[in-house]
Amino acid sequence: MGISRQRAIENRHAIVAAAEKLFRERGVDAVGLAELMKAAGFTQGGFYNHFKSKDALVAAVVDKAMEDGGDTFASIIEDARSADADPVKQRIQWYLSPEHRADIDAGCPLSGFVGDARRLGEVARDAYAEALAVNLEQFTRVIEETNGNKEDSRSKAITLFSQMVGTLLLSRAVADIAPALSDEILDEGRQHLLSAVDTQHGTRSRRRSRQG
């Protein structure tokens, strides 16, 4: 007797969830079908009932991870606005926090999959590139709204996010073997970017004062 459509959907979701965890932890190429199906609670033979190939699974994983990452970004910005806090600084503080550094399984997928991105299949690479573009567009708008003007907002968004990702990845890379160095990288990177944002805000305020 075949399984119900709803059960098939649930099984597919379970496979995607197990694959995402393993891919983030070890990299896409290091995980075989037998291992990821066992992690999901199924036999390897059932894989092709849900996906045509491993590339198809990878594309589904990346697509879901990017969608979840976009929701997290929007939630952080909304929480900051509700608390009348600076949304740019709030994002930096969250992104470069010890908690996010440790959250490899469900943290920002743009940093989580950056090492695999260029080796993924075309569909997965497209999903990654699209998510990155959307993320930068959203961050640009947040910076525009925070600064009150559009001057250099996209350049600032690209620069800030690139530095955030680089800092996070370097800190993660040595977190297990050299925790003190990992903390130093994370703390210095966070403080530098927060100071840079304060400087930008100060420049904006001085310009407004002169115009007034």
Residue ranges of domains in the chain: 1-51, 55-211
Q: pLDDT-based confidence at 24, cuts 50/70/90?
A: very high
Say what the pLDDT of residue 206 is: 42
pLDDT tens digits for range 77-95: 999 999 999 999 999 999 9
The whole-angstrom separation of Cα 136 and Cα 64 is 18
Six-digit token string for 33? 């079908």
Say what the pLDDT of residue 8 is: 86
The whole-angstrom separation of Cα 25 and Cα 115 is 11
Say what the pLDDT of residue 91 is: 95
Total length of the chain: 212
CATH class as words, domain 55-211 = mainly alpha
The whole-angstrom separation of Cα 12 and Cα 14 is 5
Question: Which parts of 27-108 fold into alpha helices (H)?
Answer: 33-40, 54-82, 87-95, 98-102
Q: pLDDT-based confidence at 201, cuts 50/70/90?
A: low
Return the CATH architecture of domain 1-51.
Orthogonal Bundle (1.10)
CB under 8 Å to 115, separation ≥6 — which residues? Answer: 27
pLDDT tens digits for range 99-145: 999 999 999 999 999 999 999 999 999 999 999 999 999 999 999 99
Say what the pLDDT of residue 128 is: 95
The whole-angstrom separation of Cα 28 and Cα 113 is 9
**pTM score of the predicted model:** 0.86
